[in-house]
Amino acid sequence: MPEGDTLFRTAAVLREVLAGRQVTEARGRPDGAALDKVAGSTVETVEARGKHHLFRFRSGRVLHSHLRMGGVWRAYAADGDGEQEADEREP
């Protein structure tokens, strides 16, 4: 289960990777959030609040994420070459 230090480190990496960038595609669970609504939006910042991540967009939208017991965010290179879990990268 992700704990506080992991969540803050993950948010720092996600902020580094996403802040100022436009979302071109977003995927989640089939029964999850309507992520198509954030496609085309620009990420302003990513914050850790307790065990939650908040992705704030310039449009004013906020995407809430909770990793539950074993969730993870992954960062992929734009060219599709490799993947790395966000909490494995140095912020």
3 in catalytic set:
yes
2 in active site: yes
Query: What helix, strand, coil percent values describe the chain, rounded to 5?
Result: 25, 30, 50
For 36, the token pair is 């198509």
If 0-12 CB within 10 Å is exposed, 13-18 middle and 19+ buried, where does residue 49 land? exposed
In the set 16, 37, 47, 51, the catalytic residue is 51
Give the active site residues: 2-3, 51
